Structure 1
Amino acid sequence: MAVRLEFLTQDPQEIELAERYWAMDGEGVYLERVSDLLPFREVTQPGALAKHVRHFCRAYDGNQVCHVCNGEMRINGRSEAKKSPQRSSRPCGDCQKLQREEEETRAAASRAALEERLAPISARARSTVISYADLADDSVLILLAIEALIGPKLLQGVFSLRDCDELTPMGGDDFVRRLYRRGVLLDDPAVAEADAYFLKDGELWHKSALVRYFLPPDTLMGRGEEAFSLQRHRELTDAEALTNLWLDYSVADVMRYLHYQCSLHGQDLGSEALEKVEGAVRHGLRRYSVAQMWFIMWKVSKDAAALASRSYYSRESAAATIPTKIRKQLEIADQGSALRNEWTRPEPHIAGSLGMVFNDLFGLDEYSKGADVLELFASLSSQGRDDGVELSELATTFMNATLDGGKSLPALEAFADLVRAGLSTEDALWETINRNPALFQ
């Protein structure tokens, strides 16, 4: 018999039942049907017999060997027996037990190594302080927007990325991570969800969705409402930071609308196409409003849908024309064609708490023209400067000071960055000087 039996009973009737159940001829055909073995005591259904037999008899198939130790494989029912010799695809019971024990040992060692790596991170997170007064203007605006969403959790507790989903129309992950990279927000492994942190090839990784973030205490005033309240009334003058944050937010607002339009027409843009669109949108927002860019998104999506109905276009090839169509619409607008500015926000499309902060502090919304916004931020950077200084005198002072200090190249690069951000020549010079006061003493 190919099946070897190992009895756990001395009951003659049970032994006889097991032998009859497993009895087969030389071809591997069972000699008796299961139904012929019933009833047996309280067992009356064929489906219950195999389970009942397993209680007092272990069966090992001589035709199956474990691929780990080459031992016989234990089987639970007739259907598992094989008619010819072969290696099993799974380990035998003893090997499975050994593998589980080894895996538990490795897991315990991994947990210990992870805890050892996380302990100093938690300790450092709990002891770190930052200067709220030194925070960049855009960091303060993002924090104000987060506070508008989660309230006291920002100042006294911890929060997750999920809590910030309504920071912008496209979520809040990128903005929260920006603060995390700057050290404005920290994470404490001790309060994170299970499996938030893990080791991979000796490196510590984390799953952002499971991490818990918090705002560390202020250097002077600690943590809480009193320390943070000063930031609500601080003077915001960093034109470059404010401009870039407005553009980041506005791009998200426009892209949310484009995704909405594409979903209506069944259009799918790949990552490369989306990157091109974001670049074009960001460029357009330096001059036009979010609502005007919405109009362009509506038009190009509609035009691409009409194009897809033509026999020589597929839906995919038509959608691929959207980035070029956006740039074309911006070219037409730059040449004097008026863009509609009354486009309304769709019902499910929120402005987000960051949009509300921009509105509360600067009166900006989806109808604010990009050129006006950049001019507004540029004007903020001129606060506190000496307007009696002539532009030519200012430029001469700037060049002489940077040349004498041997820092002309980084100073010119900083000046160029501010001009690209939309500042005028004079405003860019003043902003560069304000950021490097030691050069002009």
Structure 2
Amino acid sequence: MAVRLEFLTQDPEEIALATRYWAMDEDGVYLEKVSELVPFREITQSGLIAKHARTFCQAFDENQACNKCEGPILVTSRTDAKKQFQRSEAPCEACSGALRQEELERRRAAEIELQKQLTSRIDYMRTVSISYADLTDDQRFILLAIDALITPRLAHSTFTEGSCEALAPWEGTSYLTRLFRAGVIWDDPEAARSGTYYLHDGKLQAITSSLQFFLPPDELLGRGAEALETVTERQFTDPEVMTNLWLDYAVGDVLRYLLDQCRVYNHDLDYEDIEKIKATIRFGLHTYSVSQLWFVMWKVVRDAASLANREYYNRQKAAATIPNKIRKQIEWADKQGGIDRCWDRPEHHIAGSVGMAFLTLFEIDEFTGGKQALAKFAQLSAKASTEEVQGVASNFMQGALSRNVSLWAMEQFAGLIRAGFDTNGALDELVRLNPETFSVAIS
């Protein structure tokens, strides 16, 4: 018999029944039909025999080897037994119990380690601070847009990724991600719901959509509305980062329109196609407005839809032509003197809080030409230079007046101008040559 029996009873009749139930010949064929085993005491239905037999007998199939300990596998009915030797897919009952216990202990250890790392992160978050004065222009601009969207939570409380979806028409939460990766925005484990944090390879990880974010206090001013005002009210002076931020936003604005049109006509664009299109759009935005490029997107998608209906074409092949068609349309417009049509923003297509901030602070939107928009940011450099020179000049005059050498200082300044120095260069040269006289300027 390939099935080994272990009896849980001393009742001769029950032992006999179990033996008859499992009895088989050398070929693994059962000697008696189950229907021949009834009636047995109060049991009259053959379908209940196996269930009853399990209460006083355990059967181990020696034709099945446990994949862990190689011992026989416990079977509960005739159909479970095998006629030929094989390794079981599942471990035996004893090994399964041991594996369950190991998994339970592993989970307990992981939970202890998770709580340990969470406690450490919570303690750190209670002390973390940043320098608002060191924030870059694009970081401050994004904070301003977030504040407009969720005020007053940015200054006083926490907020989620979902709160920032309306920052931009396309991938609005990516602006929050920028700040998070740069260490401007942090996560608050204490405010997050259970299950947000977990361990992966022993390291603390989190489900981003469940995180609770917050703006840390300034290292000097602390946290609150007044401290936040120092971020949002300071003048923007970096043309490069603001230009790039505008182009990032405007590319997303155009791409959102394109993808909406592609959904209408059932065109699927893969990742590489989208990356090519983004580069082309960014190039076009140096000359054209967002609304003009919306027209280009509309035209190209319509052309692709028409192409898909031609013989030997399909939607996939037609969609693959879209990146090059966009590039050709912009090249054609450059040669022909521009794009003479523009589209209005669709009703369901928001400008987002970032877009509204650009309109408020720089008076640019989807209708502003590319050259005009970039010129707005180029002016930041000239403005910053003027303010810097004014600061140096003010310190220079204070130093001269305080030491009663204003006439001499002006004569020296005029001489340097005649020698070819510009205003800022002449002031710097005077301070360098006479540091004690103009100590205010270098304090």
For residue 211 of structure 1, what is the aligned residue in structure 2? 211
Contact 2:137 2:237 in 1 (8 A): yes
Matched with 1:286 is: 286
| Distance in 2 of aligned mates of 1:317 and 1:90 | 48
Residue 319 of structure 1: how far off its partner (Å): 1.9
Paired position in structure 2 for 1:242: 242
- The equivalent of 1:88 in structure 2 is 88
The match for 1:343 is: 343
Name structure 1 gaps, 5 residues minimum.
Answer: 405-439
Counterparts of residues 1-12 of structure 1 (less than 5 Å): 1-10=1-10
How many angstroms does 1:16 deviate by?
4.7
Output aligned runs, 1:347-358, within 5 Å.
347-358=347-358
| Match runs of 1:1-400 below 5 Å | 1-10=1-10, 14-35=14-35, 37=37, 50-192=50-192, 193-194=194-195, 196-200=197-201, 205-383=205-383, 385-386=385-386, 397=425
Decide whether the 8 Å contact of 1:243 with 1:377 is kept in 2.
Answer: yes
**The residue matched to 1:98 in structure 2 has which SS?**
helix
Cα distance per residue 1:252-273 (max 9 Å; x no partner): 1111111112222222222222
Quote how far apart the aligned CAs of 1:242 are. 1.9
CA contact (8 A) 1:295 1:340 kept: no
Partners of 2:369 and 2:26 lie apart in 1 by 89
The residue identity in structure 1 corresponding to 2:200 is: L
| Structure 1 partner of 2:405 | none
Distance 1:32 1:118, change over 3 A: same
Task: Supply the distance in 1 between the matched residues of 2:344 and 2:255 (Cα, whole angstroms).
Answer: 15
**Deviation, structure 1 residue 395:** 11
Amino acid at match of 1:264: V
Contact 2:239 2:377 (C-alpha < 8 Å) held by counterparts: yes
Over alpha carbons, which structure has the higher Rg?
A: 2
Alpha-carbon separation, structure 2, partners of 1:49 and 1:256: 67
SS in 1 for 2:94: helix
Quick one: distance in 1 between partners of 2:224 and 2:45? 70
C-alpha deviation, 1:52, in angstroms: 4.5
The CA deviation at 1:347 is 4.0
Counting matched residue pairs gives: 402
Segment of structure 1 superposing worse, 79-88 or 146-155: 146-155
Pair 1:98–1:343, CA change in 2 (3 A): same
Contact 2:197 2:204 (8 Å CA) reproduced: no
Aligned-pair RMSD on alpha carbons? 3.4
SS in 1 for 2:166: coil
Question: Could you say what secondary structure the match of 2:59 adopts?
Answer: strand
TM-score by length of 1: 0.79
Report what 1:408 is aligned to: none
How has the CA–CA distance of structure 1 residues 358 and 82 changed in structure 2, closer, same or farther, with 3 Å as cutoff? same
Q: Is the 8 A contact 1:289 1:369 kept in 2?
A: yes
Structure-2 residue corresponding to 1:434: none
* Deviation of 1:51 (Å): 4.1
Seen in structure 2, the aligned counterparts of structure 1 residues 248 and 80 have a Cα distance that, compared at 3 Å, is same
Could you tell me which amino acid in structure 1 is paired with residue 90 of structure 2? R
CA distance 1:92–1:335, shift in 2 (3 Å): same
CA contact (8 A) 2:73 2:92 kept: yes
SS at match of 1:6: strand
Deviation at 1:162, TM superposition (A): 3.0
Q: Which amino acid aligns with 2:164?
A: C
Counterpart CA distance in 2 for 1:267 and 1:81 is 55
Per-residue deviation, 1:178: 0.9
* Residue aligning to 2:411: none
Mapped to 1, the partners of 2:48 and 2:232 lie a distance apart of 72
Q: Which stretch shows the higher mean deviation, 340-349 or 236-245?
A: 340-349
Q: Name the CA distance, whole Å, in 2 between partners of 1:314 and 1:241.
A: 42
Unaligned 5+ segments in structure 2 are 391-416, 433-441
C-alpha contact 1:161 1:172 (8 A) present in aligned 2: no
Distance across 1 between alignment mates of 2:32 and 2:104? 44
Q: Tell me which moved more, 188-197 or 88-97.
A: 188-197
Contact 1:196-1:208 within 8 A present in 2 as well: no
The answer to which of 230-239 and 65-74 deviates more is 230-239
Worse-superposed segment, 58-67 or 303-312? 303-312
Change (3 A) 1:384 1:238: closer
CA distance 1:386–1:176, shift in 2 (3 Å) = closer
SS class of match (2:5): strand
Counterpart contact for 2:125–2:188, Cα < 8 Å: yes
* Cα separation, partners in 2 of 1:154 and 1:15, compared to 1, 3 Å: farther
How far the C-alpha of 1:295 sits from its partner, in A, is 1.0
TM-superposed CA distance for 1:61, in Å, is: 0.9
- SS at 1:165 equivalent: helix
SS of the aligned residue for 2:126 comes to helix
The answer as to whether partners of 2:289 and 2:369 remain within 8 angstroms in 1 is yes
Structure 2 CA distance for aligned equivalents of residues 45 and 142 of structure 1: 76
Per the alignment, do residues 158 and 31 of structure 1 end up closer, same or farther by CA in structure 2, a change over 3 Å counting? farther
Q: Is the 8 A contact 2:155 2:225 kept in 1?
A: yes
Offset of 1:185 from its aligned partner?
0.6
For residues 186-220 of structure 1, the C-alpha deviation after alignment (integer angstroms, 9 at most, x for no partner) is 124454452634232x6555543343322101223
2:293/2:342 contact within 8 Å kept: no
Residues 196, 211 of structure 2: 8 Å contact kept: no
Deviation readout 1:92-114 (Å, 9 max, x if unpaired): 11112222223333444444445
Are the aligned partners of 1:217 and 1:223 in contact in 2 as well (CA < 8 Å)? Answer: yes
The whole-number CA distance in structure 2 between the counterparts of 1:347 and 1:335 is 32
| TM-score, normalised via structure 2 length | 0.78
Q: CA deviation at 1:184?
A: 0.6
